[in-house]
Amino acid sequence: MGESRVGFCGLGTMGLAMAANLVRSGFRLTIWNRTPDRAAELIELGASQASSPREVAAESDMVVVCVSDTPDVEAVIFGPQGLAEGARTGTLIIDCSTISPSATRQFAERLAERGIPMVDAPVSGGSEGAQAGTLTIMVGGGDDDFHRARPVLAAMGRSITHMGPVGAGQATKAVNQVILCGTYLGVAEGVLLAMRSGLDVEQVVEALSGGAARSWVLENRSGRMIADEYALGFKVSLHLKDVLIALAMGRDAGVALPVAALTAQLESGLVAAGHGDEDVSVLARAVRSMSEP
């Protein structure tokens, strides 16, 4: 393996599983998480724990970041004891968080001034995909940087596509989230209609899963909607963050996104009602509530 010293910052639902796949693939991994306890499982697998992103960068040729939102990526890279303080010329930063494309371009410019390259590599495929190492990864960045990042990404994902310059991966991920708005709402409405029409809803899902209504959401999230229990998964508060990124892109591009806008409204209500940490399939609760006495 050419560059085997890899760092990882952000061991949440996604990061923990992605980092574990890097260790299993033979990378020498240095890890950091804001809440240090979450690293225990990886240390058992053989990863070394650092006390700051700065220390991670000092120990690594490439560093993967997977944290929640745009300000969090900024804090990990440019904050006190951040990656930028510990990186050397050429240390590659691979940001797998889902954040704003325009902020991504600004971060990359600030890093380039210090000789530190960056690619954006947001992922899709859910917590299941992170665990199985089958994520879909959309990459923005220069050709050389993409080729350097590729072996690391290949240990975490199955479909890896170079979409264009820095920011193109995040823009593609925003498109993904817009498409998912329609899918989640459509599956939620279909499940509700089946339940209230006296059909065997599980049989309906099975029957439709091979036809034109087939989708990842129907296959993997209709069960939560039927049970009305929304274990993670993907926090609805994080999906709302992504939809707001897409709506801002739509405004800049002069494009109306009515389903995404509706989803943002429903999700804002769910977050305000205390459901922000539940899986995004909790959208079904918002749909149901419109038809409850």
Q: Which residues bind ligand NAP (CB under 6 A)?
A: 10-15, 33-35, 38, 66-68, 72, 75-76, 97-98, 123-124, 126-127, 233-235, 238, 242
User: Residue 291 Cβ, how far from ligand NAP at the closest point, in Å?
Assistant: 28
**Rounded Cα gap, residues 266 and 260, in angstroms:** 10
- What is the smallest separation between the CB atom of 40 and ligand NAP, expressed in angstroms? 12
Selecting among 28, 54, 162, 173, the annotated active-site residue is 173
The closest alpha carbon to 140, from 89, 83, 95, belongs to 95
* Residue 235 is a catalytic residue: no
The smaller minimum CB distance to ligand NAP, of residues 15 and 141, is found at 15
Residue 281: both structure tokens together: 């399939």
The smaller minimum CB distance to ligand NAP, of residues 86 and 233, is found at 233
Min. distance of Cβ 89 from ligand NAP in angstroms? Answer: 25
CB atoms within 10 A of CB 210: 8
**Residue 37 CA neighbour count, 13 Å, CB half:** 0
75 vs 193, beta carbon nearer ligand NAP? 75
Compare residues 216 and 259 and give the one whose CB is closer to ligand NAP.
216
| Shortest distance in whole angstroms from residue 232 CB to ligand NAP | 7
How far apart are the C-alpha atoms of 25 and 28, rounded to whole Å? 9
Q: Both tokens of residue 120?
A: 């954006």
Q: Is 66 left (phi over 0), alpha (psi -120 to 50) or beta?
A: beta
> Which helix H or strand E contains 30, and what residues bound it?
strand 28-32
Which residues are known catalytic residues? 173
